[in-house]
Every structure is written in structure tokens, then in C-alpha cells.
């Protein structure tokens, strides 16, 4: 008997096939594509002690399903940190724990976005968010930015143009603090202007604050979600993936109550993981200030090492603005360079980076490159930038200085 041919699986899928599951390779010799703390930065002994304390003191709760929103002690800790760090008044009941900030983003999309809906963003945005938006079939509209983040005049013009077309965005998605990939901090007056424009054009704001704890030497304004009148207009998410590591898969979100209730029911099956939030929040409750200061010093050293190496090997052939926080920098190579086309040759030399087009809804930024500096130590950074320069000189992309 002849086997029947396989069915056309695409006709069963609600969303377009996204490709095979990710299997992140982190063993690159020079890994400038991974935006996370290096393995050497994990506080393993202290986390082990926090795990022991959590299990001995609260392990009996593993016998029960946790609340849909996540363990209350963890949410109480996060609520306190949001007030201290971001000036956001929120209670534990107004928080929803998530499996990293990516689950928060996907939960919002699953609840709010249908194919063809419009999302407004910075002109370049985090490639994971862009990939998610496209998977849900959204129309992604980029807004011009400068060294101070999204330009209010450009945002107003974009919203007005969409209104003339009969389109109302579901939300404005922004990473206002150490924006990925551009590294900018949205100025305080622009945060207020964004909220006012969202209210005027009757759309929501989705504030992704995932890098705020990686502040090197910036004056960071309060969160958009902290502004007067923001509570009914702003969805907010953040994560501990960068202050510790993405393997902990612990983030959180808050939103207007009606939306938050809906997110809770669509996100959860049997409740959140109980153990990880209790371990992580116990560790951070005891070591927050020390951990933040430790990261600040290490990130500064690694950022400065990368900028110094770029200056040494590239000179005036690379243009960038020094990021004041976060874990990456955004650099422009000479006009006409295609950083996507160069990836295979650079990868063969053991160097990983992200080309600019991966971040652009319009497929622009071809001569841009995002280089992450948190994962590698300073010596490896200097060696890797030298190797990157060697390949680019060999390929004729750069001229000899």
C-alpha cells in the first residue's frame, strides 16, 4: 500500500509558519550578537543559597497551584522595585508574572492583534519584537528617531496620516530606555508628548522596559507608565533576564485592569512556575544594590573596551553614539556597505553580530550593525573587533587608515 502524501500543514495553521524552533548557539569565539550577561557574571553561589532558603521555608507551597498571576511574595517584591526604580505605583494584584518579557509581548499580541492591525514603533526596533509582530500579521509602521529617541513631531505626523487612511493603531510599542538597537533614552518631555498623543489619537502605549536596570551612566527619566493619567493608557513589561540571565525566564507586566484580567486568562495554564520567582526575588531582595553596581562597573568596562577597539581599527569609518546603558551599541559603517551580505564571511571568522536590516520594518539600515558588549570579557571584545576589522578590510569594505 502506498503511503498517502503528507497534508498541506499550512492550511491548518492560524499563523504563518515561523520556521524551526530556535536553538541558540552561544559558543561563538566572538559573540557580539547575544544581548545578555556573560556566563562569568552569573552569581551562582548566591543563587544557590537563595534556592536553599526558598525551598526550606516555602517549599511546601509546591504542593499547590500558584495564583494565575504568579506567587504573591514575588509580585510584592516587584511592586516595591517598580516604585523605587521607575516611580510606578502598582500593587501586587496589578502585576502578572510572565515567562520573560517575550511572553508578555506575545500575550499582548494574542489578545489584541489580528492580521492587518497596525503597530507603531521606533524606526528600528528589537528584532524579536519585530519577528513577533510579523508572525501575528501586523502592519508595523516605524517612526523617525534621533539621539533622544522617537521624535514627537514624527509620531504625530504618523498617527495623523494613519487616521486619514482610516487606520487606528492598536498600540505604540516603545523601548524608551536604552532602546534596542539604537541605545537611546527617550527624553522626559518626549515621554509626556507620547502619552498625550496616544490619548489624542485614542491608542495605547506598550512600554517595554527590559534594559532599565543596566544603567551605566545615564540620567533615566521616570517610566511612561508613571506619568499622571498613564494608568489607563499604558501597558508595561520588564524582565530579570538582563540583570541575571535569560535562563531564569522571569518577567512581569501590568496594564489597565480590564486588559490585565484578559491577559491572565489567555496566558496561564495551571498557574506560573512557583520556584523560580521565589528564588530570584529572594536573591534580589538581599543583593539588589550590590548586583546593580556590579553590573554597572562591568558593563562600563566592556562598553568602553568595544568603543576603544572600534576607534582603533575603524577610525572615522564607523559612526556611533555612546550608549549610556544597556548591553549593545548601534554603529553605522560607510554608505553602500551591506552588513547582512557580509554575515557569512564574518561568521566564518568566528564573529557574530546583527545586521541593521534585522531591526528595520522597512528593510532599511543596511549599513548599520548592532554589537553587543555584555557577553564577552574586555580582552575578547578587543580581539573580536580586531578580527571583524580584518575581515572587512580584506573584503574591501573599509579603506586602510
Query: Quick one: 255 and 338 in the same domain?
Result: no
Last residue of some domain: 286, 312, 336?
286
Within this chain, do residues 239 and 98 fall inside the same structural domain, yes or no? yes
Which grid coordinates belong to 372? 553587543
Residue 401 lies in a domain: no
Q: Which three cell numbers stand for residue 162?
A: 494613519
Please state the pTM of the whole predicted model: 0.93
Assess whether 322 and 251 both reside in one domain: no
Q: Given this model, what pLDDT does residue 194 score?
A: 99
Interacting residues of 278 by C-beta distance below 8 A, sequence separation 6+: 54, 58, 71, 73, 74
Domain count, the chain: 2
pLDDT in single tens digits along all 401 residues of the chain = 567 778 888 887 776 666 666 555 557 899 999 998 988 999 999 999 999 999 999 888 888 888 889 999 999 999 999 999 999 999 999 999 999 999 999 999 999 999 999 999 999 999 999 999 999 999 999 999 999 999 999 999 999 999 999 999 999 999 999 999 999 999 999 999 999 999 999 999 999 999 999 999 999 999 999 999 999 999 999 999 999 988 888 999 999 999 999 999 887 655 678 899 999 999 999 999 999 999 999 999 999 999 999 999 999 999 999 999 999 999 999 999 999 999 999 999 999 999 999 999 999 999 999 999 999 999 999 999 999 999 999 999 888 76
In a domain, 3, yes or no: no
Q: What is the pLDDT of residue 22?
A: 58
Q: Which of 286, 311, 331 is the last residue of a domain?
A: 286
Q: Does a structural domain hold residue 159?
A: yes
SS3 state at 212? coil
Using CB atoms within 10 A of its CB, is residue 76 exposed (0-12), middle (13-18) or buried (19+)?
A: middle
In-domain check, residue 19:
no
Decide if 17 is inside a domain. no
Question: Which of 301-310's residues contact partners 24+ apart within 8 Å by CB, and which partners?
Answer: 301/378, 302/373, 302/374, 302/376, 302/377, 302/378, 302/381, 303/216, 303/329, 303/373, 305/373, 305/378, 305/381, 305/382, 306/371, 306/373, 306/381, 306/385, 308/382, 309/381, 309/382, 309/385, 309/386, 310/385
pLDDT of residue 3: 74
Whether residue 308 sits in one domain with residue 224: no
pLDDT of residue 162: 99
Residue 121 shares a structural domain with residue 260: yes
Same-domain pairing of 74 and 124: yes
Q: Work out the angle at residue 188's Cα, subtended by the Cα atoms of residues 185 and 191, and round it to the nearest 5 degrees.
A: 85
CATH number, domain of 317, equals 3.90.1150.10
Is residue 269, in this structure, part of any structural domain at all?
A: yes
Residue 255 gets the label, from left (phi > 0), alpha (psi -120 to 50) or beta, of beta
- 345: helix, strand or coil: helix
pLDDT number for residue 168? 96
Strand pairing report for 319-320 and 328-332: antiparallel
Residue 280: name the closest of 236, 238, 249 by CA: 249
Cell of 157: 505626523
Pair (272, 320) in one structural domain? no
Position 13 in a domain: no
**How far, in Å, CA of 69 to CA of 74, rounded?**
10
Residues 71 and 215 in one domain: yes
Question: Which range of residues forms the domain containing residue 387?
Answer: 25-44+289-394
- Domain identity same for 33 and 104: no
Residue in 109, 69, 327 with CA at minimum distance from that of residue 206: 109
Do 162 and 214 lie in one domain? The reply is yes
Check whether residue 293 and residue 257 sit in a common domain.
Answer: no
Look at residue 102 and tell me if it is in a domain: yes
- pLDDT on residue 401: 62
Look at residues 286, 316, 340 and tell me which one is the last residue of a structural domain.
Answer: 286
Pair 236, 359 in one domain: no
Contact 68, 263 (CB under 8 A): no
Q: What's the pLDDT at 20?
A: 60
Amino acid at each position: 500500500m502506498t503511503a498517502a502524501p503528507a497534508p498541506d500543514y499550512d492550511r491548518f495553521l492560524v499563523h504563518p509558519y515561523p520556521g524551526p524552533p530556535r536553538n541558540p548557539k552561544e559558543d561563538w569565539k566572538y559573540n557580539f550578537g547575544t544581548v545578555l550577561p556573560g556566563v562569568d557574571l552569573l552569581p551562582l553561589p548566591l543563587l544557590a543559597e537563595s534556592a536553599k532558603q526558598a525551598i526550606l521555608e516555602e517549599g511546601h507551597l509546591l504542593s499547590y497551584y500558584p495564583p494565575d498571576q504568579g506567587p504573591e511574595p514575588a509580585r510584592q517584591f516587584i511592586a516595591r522595585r517598580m516604585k523605587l526604580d521607575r516611580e510606578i505605583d502598582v500593587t501586587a494584584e496589578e502585576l502578572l508574572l510572565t515567562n520573560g518579557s517575550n511572553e508578555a509581548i506575545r500575550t499582548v499580541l494574542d489578545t489584541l492583534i489580528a492580521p492587518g492591525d497596525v503597530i507603531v514603533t521606533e524606526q528600528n526596533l528589537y528584532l524579536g519584537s519585530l519577528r513577533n509582530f510579523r508572525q501575528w500579521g501586523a502592519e508595523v509602521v516605524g517612526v523617525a528617531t534621533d539621539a533622544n529617541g522617537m521624535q514627537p513631531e514624527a509620531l504625530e505626523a504618523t498617527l495623523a496620516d494613519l487616521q486619514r487612511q482610516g487606520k487606528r493603531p492598536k498600540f505604540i510599542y516603545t523601548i524608551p530606555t536604552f532602546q534596542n538597537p539604537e541605545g537611546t533614552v527617550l527624553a522626559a518631555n518626549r515621554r509626556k508628548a507620547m502619552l498625550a498623543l496616544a490619548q489624542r489619537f485614542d491608542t495605547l502605549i506598550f512600554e517595554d522596559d527590559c534594559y532599565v536596570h543596566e544603567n551605566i551612566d545615564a540620567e533615566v527619566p521616570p517610566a511612561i507608565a508613571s506619568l499622571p493619567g498613564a494608568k489607563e493608557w499604558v501597558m508595561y513589561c520588564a524582565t530579570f533576564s538582563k540583570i541575571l540571565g535569560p535562563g531564569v525566564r522571569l518577567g512581569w507586566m501590568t496594564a489597565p485592569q480590564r486588559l490585565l484580567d484578559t491577559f491572565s486568562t489567555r496566558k496561564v495554564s495551571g498557574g506560573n512556575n512557583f520556584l523560580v520567582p521565589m528564588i530570584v526575588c529572594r536573591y534580589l531582595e538581599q543583593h539588589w544594590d550590590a548586583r546593580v553596581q556590579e553590573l554597572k562597573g562591568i558593563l562600563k568596562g566592556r562598553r568602553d573596551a568595544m568603543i576603544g577597539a572600534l576607534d582603533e581599527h575603524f577610525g572615522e569609518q564607523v559612526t556611533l553614539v555612546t550608549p549610556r546603558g544597556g548591553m549593545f551599541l548601534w554603529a553605522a559603517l560607510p554608505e553602500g556597505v551591506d552588513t547582512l551580505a557580509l554575515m557569512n564571511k564574518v561568521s566564518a571568522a568566528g564573529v557574530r553580530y546583527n545586521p541593521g536590516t534585522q531591526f528595520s520594518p522597512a528593510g532599511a539600515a543596511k549599513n548599520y550593525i548592532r554589537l553587543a558588549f555584555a557577553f564577552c570579557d574586555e580582552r575578547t571584545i578587543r580581539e573580536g573587533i580586531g578580527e571583524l576589522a580584518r575581515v572587512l578590510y580584506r573584503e574591501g569594505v573599509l579603506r586602510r587608515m
